[in-house]
Structure 1
Amino acid sequence: MPSPSRVVLLALLLGGSAAVAQQEVSASVPGARRIELTPEGTGNVSEVTVSPGLSTMLLFDSELQREAVELEGRQRFSLIDVGQATLRLVPSANATPGERFKLVVRFRDGSAPSSAVFLLKVHPAKAEATIEVYREQRTMESYQQEIRDARAEVLRCQEELARMRAEHKAPGGMPGLLVNGGLDPHGVSGQALTKTVAKTAANELAVPFVNSYRSSKLATVDVWVDVKTGTLPWTAEGATLKGRSGEALKILQVWQSEPVLPGTRGRVIVEAEAPAAAVQGPFSLKLWEADGPRSITLGNVTFP
């Protein structure tokens, strides 16, 4: 067994080479057991075997808060020696085999995990001489960034929920368009695009009819899709509607009542947010299916 001074020196060296040591699987001290702490595993408890009259040394790769070490049943230990990155324990003869004592250590650098919990189990003779404890550290800054990202996502969801609630409070059909400002005295304009759009579709799909519509704030493309017999059903999962320079209109919904079955024709309606100034075409509309590679691309899409 290494001398106490050699063990302390080793512990100090470990603090400077933690990044390398954490990549290893085995402990650096022969016969020692390695315990690895993860940032998410702060509730985990590691069991350590101790014995009356025998020394157990815990070597840490981080500096300890020496004054913050908590040990249940301190009176059952004849030696509790807390160093900068080491903790040496010797149970007294009064420690009864089978007894368990909770040990909590805290680290000084503020990174996560900020503490470690051990359960010291008393055995008559089989004390673990050396335990190496390594931390998979995560800085508080990374947690703060995660919290900021989560708050931003919550805010986005709240805004989306507020929009949906506002839409549900409004009436449907034409009155709903009026209440939401999507319709003005000029009404809704429409045009047939079947002969003017450039169509590119998977071999199994065909687009026989395309129409477009525009109100004061909305642009809609009405696409009819044929699926060839002997193929799989087709369901539109998403859509993009982009102008020549690459700018994209915000897609509000892609509506399809049901999958288009082989040998039948179905309808897909794409609605986008488009004030009058934003609908200077032409646009390219792309539709893709939910679980497969088949897509439809329509070029030269314009709005009245």
Structure 2
Amino acid sequence: MSSSSLFVLLGLLLVGSSAAAQLEVSSSVPGARRIELSPEEAGRVNEVVVSPGLSTMLLFDSELQRESIELESRQRFSLVDVGQATLRLVPSVSATPGERFKLVVRFRDGAAPSSAVFLLKVHPAKAEATIEVYRAQRTIETYQQEVRDARAETFRCQEELARLKSEHKAPGGLTGILFNGGLDPLGVAGQVLTKAVTITSANGLRSPIVNSYRSSTLVAVDAWIDVKTGTLPWTAEGATLKGRSGEALKILRVWQVTPILPGSPGGRVIVEAEAPAAAVHGPFSLKLWEADGPRSITLGNVTFP
């Protein structure tokens, strides 16, 4: 992100905090997204990201008409649990990334808005765990929380801007890595994982060569990906790197030069993540997926030197 883009983002955050028409605001549950329904926008469709095998919980501030829930292709969900004011959804493994399902809920009190419409978008891994849906008047506490969230985001952007400025001043190459503390006297350690990893792929992806690397503050997985003949080219759009207990390392970049062509010798994908030495405990599971497409590949039993 360029320095000018960060300044624009800071301005939008400060201006947006006072916009009366803003419908998605801070939530009372940490990590949850909050949606506010407006009578003036009764037909508004709210997008929610779901993933096969992962739970998404919608929490409402009003009682639902449990018998009137409409869910498109309901059989594609392994769990649809409707409570008095909650709705829990778990798509089954038959739900394909990129698919969308319409969800309509109706409220028992009949007040406006009397219903809410959601579009459930299937993603390979990034399901939204909790969504809070409000129809009632916002309290002063929610505004105060929104201001706190905006300040925290502004502070984060300021830190990112300072980091980018520092990087521009630092030298490149190995000198730059040393300058930024990326190496210790032992250098970078690497190991071959080709025979150790387990592979779970979808729609003709495989990884015949896998290596891993670690420096003092970073880890990287270097994988060679093959695409089956007769399918479309494949480009890695995102990645997660999770430990056995579910903790995730912060992904810094997913690097790939060009799309990998079907039937070709394959292509190289490198995933880099933040990982202080104390946090590098294995094994990890690396999942790669394409943008708005069904094909993903998971490499299990990934360890670092």
TM-score by length of 2: 0.52
Alpha-carbon distance change, 283 to 139 in structure 1, aligned in 2, over 3 angstroms: closer
Give, in angstroms, the shift of residue 40 of structure 1. Answer: 4.3
Alpha-carbon distance change, 150 to 203 in structure 1, aligned in 2, over 3 angstroms: same
In structure 1, the residue corresponding to 2:248 is in which secondary structure? coil
Equivalent residue, structure 1, for 2:101: none
Give, in angstroms, the shift of residue 137 of structure 1. Answer: 5.8
Equivalent residue, structure 1, for 2:258: 258
Q: Tell me, in whole angstroms, the C-alpha distance in 2 between the residues paired with 1:254 and 1:288.
A: 11
Q: Tell me, in whole angstroms, the C-alpha distance in 1 between the residues paired with 2:286 and 2:194.
A: 13
Q: Tell me, in whole angstroms, the C-alpha distance in 1 between the residues paired with 2:138 and 2:183.
A: 53
In structure 2, the residue corresponding to 1:153 is in which secondary structure? helix
Equivalent residue, structure 2, for 1:235: 235
Percent identity of paired positions between Structure 1 and Structure 2: 77
Check conservation: 1:238, 1:254, Cα contact below 8 A.
Answer: yes
The one-character-per-residue Cα deviations of 1:75-119 (angstroms, maximum 9, x if unpaired) are xxxxxxxxxxxxxxxxxxxxxxxxxxxxxxxxxxxxxxxxxxxxx
In structure 2, the residue corresponding to 1:150 is in which secondary structure? helix
Divergent runs of 4+, >3 A: 38-41, 136-145
Equivalent residue, structure 1, for 2:129: none
Amino acid at match of 1:287: L
Alpha-carbon distance change, 211 to 137 in structure 1, aligned in 2, over 3 angstroms: closer
Equivalent residue, structure 1, for 2:301: 300
In structure 2, the residue corresponding to 1:248 is in which secondary structure? coil
Equivalent residue, structure 1, for 2:192: 192
Equivalent residue, structure 1, for 2:214: 214
Alpha-carbon distance change, 39 to 219 in structure 1, aligned in 2, over 3 angstroms: closer
Equivalent residue, structure 2, for 1:291: 292
Equivalent residue, structure 2, for 1:109: none
Unpaired stretches in structure 2, ≥5 consecutive residues: 1-18, 23-135
Give, in angstroms, the shift of residue 139 of structure 1. Answer: 4.8
Check conservation: 1:39, 1:137, Cα contact below 8 A.
Answer: no
The correspondence of residues 1-304 of structure 1 with structure 2, limited to 5 A, is 40=21, 139-264=139-264, 265-304=266-305
Alignment length (residue pairs): 173
Give, in angstroms, the shift of residue 138 of structure 1. Answer: 5.0
In structure 2, the residue corresponding to 1:287 is in which secondary structure? strand
Give, in angstroms, the shift of residue 39 of structure 1. Answer: 5.2
Q: Tell me, in whole angstroms, the C-alpha distance in 1 between the residues paired with 2:202 and 2:183.
A: 36
In structure 1, the residue corresponding to 2:174 is in which secondary structure? helix
Q: Tell me, in whole angstroms, the C-alpha distance in 2 between the residues paired with 1:150 and 1:241.
A: 28
Unpaired stretches in structure 1, ≥5 consecutive residues: 1-37, 42-135
Alpha-carbon distance change, 183 to 141 in structure 1, aligned in 2, over 3 angstroms: same
Identify the structure with bigger relative contact order (alpha carbons < 8 Å, sequence gap 6+).
Answer: 2
Q: Tell me, in whole angstroms, the C-alpha distance in 2 between the residues paired with 1:301 and 1:249.
A: 13
In structure 2, the residue corresponding to 1:206 is in which secondary structure? strand
Structure 1 vs Structure 2 CA RMSD: 2.3
Alpha-carbon distance change, 138 to 165 in structure 1, aligned in 2, over 3 angstroms: same
TM-score by length of 1: 0.53
Q: Tell me, in whole angstroms, the C-alpha distance in 1 between the residues paired with 2:224 and 2:169.
A: 31
Q: Tell me, in whole angstroms, the C-alpha distance in 1 between the residues paired with 2:290 and 2:269.
A: 11
Alpha-carbon distance change, 39 to 162 in structure 1, aligned in 2, over 3 angstroms: closer
